[in-house]
Structure 1
């Protein structure tokens, strides 16, 4: 199985976990902390989810070498950003301004930080070239 197929398979697992994470955030954290603060807190737990899944699937992924590991992370982040924008806009009905806020740290959004963790995740948990 090609690396791209394995990377897509792992990303589907990450996406499913993040959807559940988002539902739990909206059901439990948002009522306690408010929407913006709940989204900010969820970047930490969401990043942890990505790192755990990357760690648990590293042998399946078999991305050897920093270049391949970062390429997988970029692939995951591009898919996740696309998914988040499409899901937010067309399923939840967010405005473009609201979506942009999630990616803009100056407006309280830290999704870009979460995507940076996603880019680095395969390298952070993957095997190092010897």
Structure 2
């Protein structure tokens, strides 16, 4: 397996850690002062920003070589891993209903979680190509 793919597994685990920190900040810092939807929306944008920072640092300083194809594969893998974790862990471990889990996917009701998933998918490619100019 190529080194960049092994690193991607670690990066996805780091995303999970960063997402939890983001949620803790939302729940204890600004969430109690705002309505739930506004707190959710802010949290989505801070999460995207945190993921950008992780991707930037990873792709800037990695010793592994990578191609556009590698980063597209990694982005799709990040998407599937995130959605699988969200639904499987959320339903079977935490015990959330499917309805509650699907709630954050309703973009028409102001739920922005889908933007986090879009960024998680395209972010590695976008950062490498348009921010770092490496591919």
* Aligned CA distance change for structure 1 residues 107 and 87 (closer, same or farther; 3 Å): farther
**Residues 47 and 116, structure 2, Cα contact 8 Å, conserved in 1:** yes
Aligned with residue 60 of structure 1, among 54, 58, 62: 62
| Residues 120-129 or 60-69, more deviating | 60-69
- Unaligned runs of 5+ residues in structure 2 are none
Q: Kindly provide the CA deviation profile for residues 78-123 of structure 1, in whole angstroms up to 9, marking residues without a partner as x.
A: 2122222234334544321121111120232211111101111111
Match of 1:18 in 2: 19
Match of 1:128 in 2: 134
* Aligned CA distance change for structure 1 residues 75 and 8 (closer, same or farther; 3 Å): same
Q: Kindly provide the CA deviation profile for residues 45-83 of structure 1, in whole angstroms up to 9, marking residues without a partner as x.
A: 100011100000113274622221121111112212222
Q: TM-score, normalised by structure 2?
A: 0.83
**Residues 69 and 122, structure 1, Cα contact 8 Å, conserved in 2:** yes
CA-based RMSD: 2.0
Q: TM-score, normalised by structure 1?
A: 0.85
Match of 1:39 in 2: 40
